[in-house]
A = this chain, B = another copy of it.
Amino acid sequence: MRHVTQRRKRVTQAEVARLAGVSQAMVSLVLNDSDGVRVAPETRQRVVEALRQTGYTVDIMGRRLRGKSNQIIGVFTYEAVFPSGSADFYGPFLGGIEEEAEAQGFDLLLFTSPGRRQGRRKVYEQGSNRLGIADGCILLGRHTDRAELDRLVDERFPFVFIGRRESSAGPVSYVGGDYAAATAALYERVWALDHRRVALVGYHEESESTADRRSGYLRACKRHRKTPLALNDADPSAVFERLRAEEVTAALVETTEMAAALRALATGSGLRVPEDLSVGVLGDTDPTQTSAWPLRPASDTDWTTFRIPRRDMGARAVRILVGMLRGEMEPGRKTQVLLPCELVDGTTVTEAPRAPRR
């Protein structure tokens, strides 16, 4: 015999109370057995029995409304989290976020809806406003909307960025990789291999992470009293020509794609990598080594690079956010963390060629 299925009905404390012949408040008291409030054993028994019979489950809405937090951490990404074809950028970050959120007893709200709703234009329903659903939010993405970031800071919504971010509106909490130090370390590595003309090839769009790599490079140049040669990747063949003209023997390149393109150009000109030109990649955009979800390597090259601790970064961001939510920080203070990146020796950097020049 099928129930006369109708509108989904939830069992409330009031119904349980009616069944047990007590007041709603009594049910709540039994459920939360607050210290200091006594309930007669016999009554408690009746309530517990009624709870069992009805299969009551607490409605968190009501509870949260009563002033408790809802234990939800928002995750906002500027691109799709689970891409269909492209590289897996977010996986490791989210792995760390999930792990730590679970440990801290939070649920994760993935914001997938905003920015797309056409139809009825609801004034305050799109964009970052929806973030407010969560107690706090983790943001990540290669691309950042400056205006939005400023606004977030301004609204004092608790959030932590993954990747260093600066806002004119005030300090921002973030967990980043220490690209400057890692870039400098990579410079030292090639220096130790007798390279004396080391160039930087950065991403053509300016961002914090690009700036960090450059600052690490500049620092290393200064230390060794070398004139920096910092190029950007807007025009690959121009970059390559410049490298040749300047007799560069080692290039530190921001992404794997650039590195591969550069190598192709080199090979086309009869130069071998790494024998004639060493190439270091400034961060493992190909997360094969470190990721929980390894990529099938687009190229199977074993680049010399440094490892970005993505999983740790995600976990750390959650810890910081939870700290903020628990009020364990002075509200104005922001936590800014740069995690070290471990050097990975690959096959694309070797000793400098014995120079015919000078």
Binding site for B on A (CB under 8 A): 2-3, 5-10, 30-32, 48, 51-52, 55-62, 64-65, 70-72, 80-85, 88, 91-92, 94-95, 97-99, 101-102, 105-113, 116-117, 122-125, 128-133, 151, 154-158, 170, 288, 292-296, 311, 327, 331-332
Contacts and interface: CB of A to CB of B under 8 A. Distances in A.
A157 B71 CA distance: 21
A88 B41 CA distance: 48
Q: Most chain-B CB neighbours within 10 Å: which of A2, A108, A311?
A: A108
A112 B106 contact: yes
Contacts of A30: 123
Please state the number of chain copies in the assembly.
Answer: 2
A101 B56 CA distance: 26
A131 B311 CA distance: 27
A170 to B, nearest CB: 7
A128 B293 contact: no
Contacts of A81: 94, 98
A133 B70 contact: yes
Contact of A157 (B8, B156, B331): B8
Contacts of A155: 8, 10, 55, 57
Contact of A116 (B85, B102, B133, B293): B102
A170 B57 CA distance: 20
A106 to B, nearest CB: 6
B112 A95 contact: no
B124 A57 contact: yes
A81 to B, nearest CB: 6
